[in-house]
Chains A and B, each alone.
Chain A
Amino acid sequence: MSEKATGGDFVVFDHVQKSYDGETLVVKDLNLSIGKGEFLTMLGPSGSGKTTCLMMLAGFETATHGDILLDGKPINNISPHKRGIGMVFQNYALFPHMTIAENLSFPLEVRKMGKSEREEKVARALGMVQMERFGGRRPAQLSGGQQQRVALARALVFEPDLVLMDEPLGALDKQLREHMQFEIKHIADNLGITVVYVTHDQTEALTMSDRVAVFEDGRIQQLAPPDELYEKPCNSFVAQFIGENNTLQGEVKEIKDGLAVVKLDDGSLIDAMPVNVDKAGERTQLSIRPERVEFNMERLNPGAHTLQAEVLEFIYMGDIFRTRLRVAGNDSFIVKTRNAPDQVRLEPGQTVEIGWQAEDCRALDA
């Protein structure tokens, strides 16, 4: 993963800007390099500019400023049908008046491919998504998941090097979506194609991608592999957007040996890893994942600061317990613990002492 994740320059966005109305920028100075064979996900809330970026790459929108390069060549002025980029649309966009086989055959026909070659490629593409038996059906006769597979096969049948996917799993139910995530990932890995994937579902982004670009406000907030994104968010937006996250407001008291001591608003002190803060006196937002909170004091480093917390609610969720605490004035501080045989079940009303490893708690911009 990491060798692909180092980037490369198969697809390059070079200072790309986009405005629809000439007054506001939807995409602000986008710089992004995508390596060959990489699975890159553009993740972000709606209106963050991620789909616009995808459409510019596909050729359906033109960049207002900057260059987009594909395999070293600028493609700004190349019309979409000459770019040779496969695309899977949000609602699949399977042509309803054609059978599945005809849908798959379409990109080959417009490339003036011979009949036998077409049939062979269509059969192979259908085989790839386990849809061999459905070639004669119409899209309306297929379930959502099947249509999804066909859309994928159609985007791949003409063997593009780059495939774009615009929230392709948005219309599927949860189970099917998870299944398709793996399938798409495997097919992409097997074929060695480059995928640019747009989604607003962070789980999808984390499970599938080599790298994830988190979009917000027309900018990439963080571009990193999933584990880094989750464990080392570089600002409070990313920390909030990816996964569940507890926040505490405070002020940096001192930074020493790469660790920060933060004075929370209720006066208590706690250790954190300084990320976006560099000097004492700065306001900061602490971010700590619910599963990294400890209340077994023996597992903390000696001398670590701890906080008093009141248990408000205990929720049994099967594999995990979810406990809501009041910590330093924050009523929605969540702790997740594994449902292990020796796990402690906290009772509402109880007061406990909690703490964490300093590197799990990140001091971000306020």
Chain B
Amino acid sequence: MSDVTETIPQDSPEQGRKKSDGKIRAADGTSLKRSLNRALRRQKLRALILIAPLLIFVLVTFIAPIADMLFRSVENQIVAQTLPRTTDALADWEAASGQAPGAPVYKALYEDIFIAQERKLHTRLGSRLNYELTGASSLFRKSGRGVGDMGEVYQDQFEDFDDFWKMGENWNAFLGSDEWLAEIQAWDKASGDDQPAFEMRDGMEELFPQTAAKYEIFADFVQYEDEDNLYKEDPWALIYSSFYDDLTGPTATQIAAYDGPAAAQIKAATAAAADFETVDYAAAFADVDKDWAETPIWETIQTYSGPFTNGYFLNAVDMQKSPDGAELRPENQRVYGTLFLRTLFMSLMITGSCILLGYPVAWLLANLPARTANLLMILVLLPFWTSLLVRTSAWKVMLQQQGVINDTLVWLGIVDNFNRLALINNQTGTIIAMTHILLPFMILPLYSVMATIPPAFLRAAKSLGATNWTAFWRVYFPQSVPGIGAGSILVFILSIGYYITPEIVGGTTGTFISNRIAYHISSSLNWGLAAALGAILLAVVLALYWAYDKIVGIDNVKLGG
């Protein structure tokens, strides 16, 4: 014994050695912390490998989709992507003026919608804007058909003037670079090679800026979206109107000096174009739908032209954007505030009734001999082994007006036959069915906490002079509060996002916010709003959790032990 004590250095009470820097060091002089980390690294790596499959699974199938979904609640790129020119042109427009925007905006709108309808994107934009302005959907559908007519005015005039402009080859020969022309003529679709990508002839972008820009888009669309041979493809009507714009536009003088391919035809066309019939896009759009001459659609486009929007969130809290900022919707359009409040209120009711019904059962379970308690526990768990849908449907049978409960009450004479209780398709039904379904989630944590409270506490309280009630209320109950807390959090959070049961037994007045979210996901397809509602629900739950932690303390939540 004495030998061992002597080997420990006198100046070091710790088991390691202290160097001058004050750090405790391991026997070989490395920092103790580092050698501990090294020793633990293998363990940590092992732990990581063990959880890796689940972690990856959760990340890929759960976290990522949720993040993506939540992102949709603010994402709004569709307007700016579909109507890039229009939103640019509209930037300076003052909605407050009460005037429809000027001609350049309509021309930009024509170009945007033309491209969008070729790509079949205009109806999607219409659906998107329809969330904000009713009627936008049909407006865009109509306009998609209308823009074809507008462009054809120029196309027809060019083609009538000279057959040269009818042919796609001619346009390609005019705008395409020589190398590309050689390649595309040599290309054989059957060979399986990729179609040579369109290349603009040098100088065209300066001379014919509008035509060149549109033709790029056209070429891109034909080659990659339609996968047709661009060389044989006749251009869109949009190309003709842009061509007209270039011929009569600011580059007209340079065009006069042009001497490349098709120079002769261009010269002739320039001369003829002076007499062409022109299109008043503003009038043409007003002709398609008079809404284009009014301000609301322009206001909506302008408001939602940014890549991100708080519109879905405003919508989710019954507000809307207006020129003066956000404002509450008219009373008859408010839906979600009531739904949120109803969801919270009913979840609280369900949690409360679960406590009332579950507490005595849990107490009994915790205080019965093990054999009987196990049997009872199986009864508590039995519902878990039955499908949720079956249980909920069973409640439908039980609760309806001609159902088991009403029949029994009428038979007992408690309820008049012509005055049967409305127990389903309302809040009562939802509360009854969900209390039943969520009850085990209350009983289990309560039981596991109560099982750890020694019976000696109650005896001690009684021996100190407390009546049964005082002993329970002052001694037993406070110790079971962590179980109530855990059960309440479980039941409340489960019920606040519940969907199936309120959908089946809730009717119209007993549905939750989740039913509305499901509606927007699967029926109205307004995923942005669904995401905003979901995000708010998540925030509410987190806020309640935070509040609970502040008031009760999350350490006071026990699921057992």
Binding site for B on A (CB under 8 A): 58-60, 79-87, 89-91, 93, 95-97, 106-107, 110-111, 154-155, 158, 164
Contacts and interface: CB of A to CB of B under 8 A. Distances in A.
Main secondary structure of the interface of A (DSSP, over half): loop
A90 B456 contact: yes
A158 B475 contact: no
Shortest Cβ-Cβ A-B pairs, 6 listed = A107-B464, A93-B460, A87-B463, A93-B456, A80-B462, A97-B478
A110 B464 contact: yes
Given A60-B462, A97-B479, 18 more contacts: A59-B462, A81-B462, A81-B465, A81-B466, A85-B463, A86-B463, A87-B460, A87-B463, A90-B456, A93-B454, A93-B459, A95-B457, A95-B479, A106-B464, A110-B464, A110-B465, A110-B467, A155-B463
Contacts of B474: 106
Interface residues of B, number: 19
23 contacts: A58-B459, A59-B463, A60-B459, A80-B459, A80-B462, A80-B463, A81-B462, A81-B466, A87-B459, A87-B463, A87-B464, A89-B456, A89-B459, A89-B460, A90-B456, A91-B456, A93-B456, A93-B460, A95-B457, A95-B461, A106-B461, A106-B464, A164-B463
Contact of A93 (B457, B465, B467, B468): B457
Contacts of B456: 89-91, 93
Contacts of A93: 454, 456-457, 459-460
A84 B465 contact: yes
Contacts of B468: 81
B459 A91 contact: no
A60 B459 CA distance: 7
A96 B466 contact: no
Interface in B474-498: 474-475, 478-479
A81 B459 contact: no
B470 interface: yes
Nearest to A95: B475
A96 B479 CA distance: 8
| B464, B468, B470, B478: most-surrounded residue (chain A CB, <10 A) | B464
A154 B464 contact: yes
A81 B454 CA distance: 18
Contacts of B454: 91, 93
A59 B468 CA distance: 13
Nearest to B467: A81
A166 to B, nearest CB: 9
B468 to A, nearest CB: 8
Interface of B: 454, 456-457, 459-468, 470-471, 474-475, 478-479
Nearest to A90: B456
B126 to A, nearest CB: 63
B459 A106 contact: no
B475 to A, nearest CB: 5
B464 to A, nearest CB: 4
A97 B476 CA distance: 10
A107 B459 CA distance: 13
Contacts of B475: 95
A83 B454 CA distance: 22
A107 B465 contact: yes
Contacts of B479: 95-97
| B454, B457, B471: most-surrounded residue (chain A CB, <10 A) | B457
B465 A158 contact: yes
A164 B459 CA distance: 13
Contacts of B467: 81, 110
Contacts of A158: 464-465
A284 B94 CA distance: 120
A102 to B, nearest CB: 10
B368 to A, nearest CB: 16
Nearest to A102: B474
Nearest to B478: A97
| B454, B465, B474: most-surrounded residue (chain A CB, <10 A) | B465
A113 to B, nearest CB: 10
| A80, A84, A90: most-surrounded residue (chain B CB, <10 A) | A80
A67 B345 CA distance: 57
A164 B463 CA distance: 10
